[in-house]
Structure formats: structure tokens, C-alpha cells
Amino acid sequence: MNFRPSPDEEPEINLIPLIDVLLMTLIFLIVTTSFSREAQLQVKLPEATSETTAPPTALRITIDARGQYYINNQQLLSATSDVLRNAMAREAGGDKDRPIVIQADAKTPHEAVVRVMDVARRLGMTHLTFATQQPPESRP
């Protein structure tokens, strides 16, 4: 009995078990992964019955419930008047007639909204609008 392999035969690597393990790992990762929508800013606007739309060139200032400022969906590093004034002046580009839309959360501190209005006044910007949402229809 000759148990030695013949010199003509090359060793063979079986890839099927390796592929099975990789596919099972991939399936496990796909099933256990959770996706979240952190990129979108969630603001609950106060309700009003008026229907006006802001022009697309408007400077949008969003204030969340904690009083953090976002100018055109870019968060400011701090909530001070100086930082807000510099950011608004940079975004407006010297255009004092550019309308400003204030999107404040319903639970935003009053001070944060007044700060935006004061900075806009000091910059000479007088076209201010407040964004609201339509109240839900009451059903009898």
C-alpha cells in the first residue's frame, strides 16, 4: 500500500466552505444593522391657518427646542449673538432685502427667537417671516 500522494497531484483548496461562512456573516450583518435618519433636522412648527410660501432665495434660520441655531440646515457652533450675526451676514452676502424665514420649534425658548430678530435688525434686514404648519382638520 502506497499512502504517499503521487508527485503529479497538486493540493486542492476547497472554497465552498469559505464562501458559505462569508455569506452567513454577510446575512448576519445585514439583518442586525439598524438605519437611522440623523441627517434630517426634526422641528415641530407651531400651528397657524395662514398659507404663504417663502421664496426659494430666503435665508432660512431654524431653531430647535434646545435653542440651537441652524442657517440653511448648517448648525452654528454656539448660540451667541456674535456667531449668529457673522453667519447671517456671510449667508446674506450683503443683501439687506433678502427675506429671512424663522423656523422655530414650538418649544423653542422665546429668547432664541428674539435674538434672531435683533441680529436681523442690526444687520438692516427687515423682511422677516415665521414658518408655521397647518393645524390638523377637526373631524365631527
pLDDT tens digits, residue range 51-99? 666 666 788 999 988 888 998 888 888 888 888 899 988 988 888 888 8
**Amino acid (1-letter code) at residue 48:** A
**Is residue 48's pLDDT more than 70?**
no
C-alpha 126/C-alpha 117 separation (Å) is: 9
C-alpha 53/C-alpha 135 separation (Å) is: 16
Mean pLDDT of the chain: 81
- The pTM of this model reads 0.58
Residue 104 contacts residue 51 (beta carbons within 8 Å): no
Task: Tell me what pLDDT residue 21 has.
Answer: 94
**Is residue 106's pLDDT more than 90?**
no
Domains of the chain by residue range = 59-130
C-alpha 3/C-alpha 5 separation (Å) is: 6
Phi, psi of 18 (to 5 degrees): -65, -40
Topology of 59-130 in CATH?
Answer: Nucleotidyltransferase; domain 5 (3.30.420)
